[in-house]
Structure 1
Amino acid sequence: MVKDGSQDALAQEFVGFAVEAGVLRFGEFKTKAGRLSPYFFNAGLFDDGAKLGRLARFYAQRILASGIEFDMLFGPAYKGIPLAATVAVELARLGRNVPFAYNRKEAKDHGEGGTLVGAPVQGKVLIVDDVMSAGTAARESIALIQAAGATPHAVAIALDRQEKATENGQDVPWSAVQYVRERLGMQVCTIAKLEDLLAYLGANGAELGTHHAKVLAYRDRYGAG
């Protein structure tokens, strides 16, 4: 999807919000792939009602602008659960009321049982998650959705790191987002990308300029396609 000017502005606003909220941090952080990253995005730090509500507005605006067709939302445990719930609330506020569901990490052996909670998983499903690193959570969600007889149609994430994924401990020349799009045939909707973060850092050089060079060097080394 080609972003127009308003969507670029939305990405810049989102990055600024994530920095101000302390969700997007700079320093030295070890990723799941064992890389030392100069930045880290922790959606778990959208930890109060105001932050979570504002985050949901960013998701909802981007999802509606994308034109992606979907019948319901799915939130992968654990971070995806509050995301799917709050995005469903915001979409309803904007006139697009859809059901949502999520999964448990462990199957419940009493009551209704099972691993899925919420609305019946059916139709075209939009998975809502925070970031996509190796694509592991997306693949797990896809399997659950398919097992329920529904179609995993698209994924919405907050930040696309645009870096090479790893398989069996080795770098591969595509990102997790590219893998989901090109190998699994699903659409991916992102609020912001690494390129948006770099643009934000470049525009705020007086305060954050020292981080720009480090993030740029990281992209040059690990960036995908």
Structure 2
Amino acid sequence: MMNHIFFDAAISASALKFGEFRLKSGRISPYFFNAGLFNSGKTLYQLAECYVQKIMQEKVAFDVVFGPAYKGIALAALVASILFSKYNIEVGFCYNRKEVKDHGEGGILVGANITGKRVLIIDDVITAGTAIKEAINVIYAQNGHIVGVCVALDRQEIAPGQNVSAIQSLTETYRFPIYAVATLRDLIEYIQVKGQIEETLLIRMKSYQKNYGVT
């Protein structure tokens, strides 16, 4: 299964860890995902391949893949390259600067022109949704048409102070789909299937899902 390949790669790269981790929300999570630890040619390629498989599975049609600075930049470039090398699908790739450039070509975007184009955003995770909203605003300001967002992991948990997850909130607000290579539900199933991870972890994962998971 694709999400099992993703989890295998994430654990191997130490991008997915189990234990006790305090999140920005103050919650104590039994797992932590950091896509920045896919930091070698091999592991980054494995991650990008998982995105590509999800894109192909969902039959997403788009013209430009957009990677929000900074983690999304390398992912977007590699996804565009794999789509061409493996499937002969040619799309542009684009990313934003953190600060507007006031010399040279100027502007906040680098790469393919997105005006009037169908844009797919590639990002690692969506936690509060702040970063992805910034990317959405940038794309809309350039008259790009967002067809969806693809993330590596959907934690499937209710955002603090809300009754829905950040992903559910974004979907309801902007009316485009958000695809996830894997979800918390997938992760719990993966742990059960593998059977080599301690039983207490599975109990803590299910407890966390019960306390904070979306319905």
Paired residue for 1:35? 27
- Which of 201, 205, 213 aligns to 1:211? It is 201
Percent identity, aligned pairs only, is: 46
Instruction: Supply the distance in 2 between the matched residues of 1:45 and 1:108 (Cα, whole angstroms).
Output: 29
Gap runs ≥5 in structure 1: 1-8
Gap runs ≥5 in structure 2: none
- Which of 164, 182, 187 aligns to 1:192? It is 182
Deviates more, 1:173-182 or 1:89-98: 173-182
Instruction: Supply the distance in 2 between the matched residues of 1:206 and 1:112 (Cα, whole angstroms).
Output: 54
Query: 1:150-205: CA deviations, max 9, x gaps?
Result: 11220000001000113xxx2x1111221222221011111111011001111223
> Partner of 2:24: helix, strand, or coil?
coil
Paired residue for 1:111? 104
Contact kept? 1:15, 1:196, Cα under 8 Å: no
Instruction: Supply the distance in 1 between the matched residues of 2:159 and 2:120 (Cα, whole angstroms).
Output: 22
Q: 1:12 to 1:214 in 2, by over 3 A?
A: same
Deviation at 1:33, TM superposition (A): 1.8
RMSD over aligned CA atoms reads 1.2
Deviation at 1:83, TM superposition (A): 0.8
Q: Letter of the aligned partner of 2:204 in structure 1?
A: K
Deviation at 1:207, TM superposition (A): 2.9
- Which of 125, 129, 138 aligns to 2:132? It is 138
Instruction: Supply the distance in 2 between the matched residues of 1:196 and 1:141 (Cα, whole angstroms).
Output: 27
Query: 1:22-51: CA deviations, max 9, x gaps?
Result: 110011212222211111100000000011
> Partner of 1:89: helix, strand, or coil?
helix
Instruction: Supply the distance in 2 between the matched residues of 1:127 and 1:181 (Cα, whole angstroms).
Output: 13
Instruction: Supply the distance in 1 between the matched residues of 2:89 and 2:55 (Cα, whole angstroms).
Output: 11
Instruction: Supply the distance in 2 between the matched residues of 1:30 and 1:185 (Cα, whole angstroms).
Output: 32
Deviates more, 1:34-43 or 1:206-215: 206-215
> What pairs up with 1:42-81 in 2 under 5 angstroms?
42-81=34-73
Deviation at 1:209, TM superposition (A): 3.0
Paired residue for 1:155? 149
Structure 1 stretches of 4+ with a deviation exceeding 6 A read: none
- Which of 6, 18, 22 aligns to 1:14? It is 6
Alignment TM-score, normalising by the size of structure 1 = 0.91
Instruction: Supply the distance in 2 between the matched residues of 1:182 and 1:164 (Cα, whole angstroms).
Output: 14
> Partner of 2:125: helix, strand, or coil?
coil
Query: 1:53-110: CA deviations, max 9, x gaps?
Result: 1111111111011022211110001111111011111111121110010011111122
Deviates more, 1:179-188 or 1:142-151: 179-188
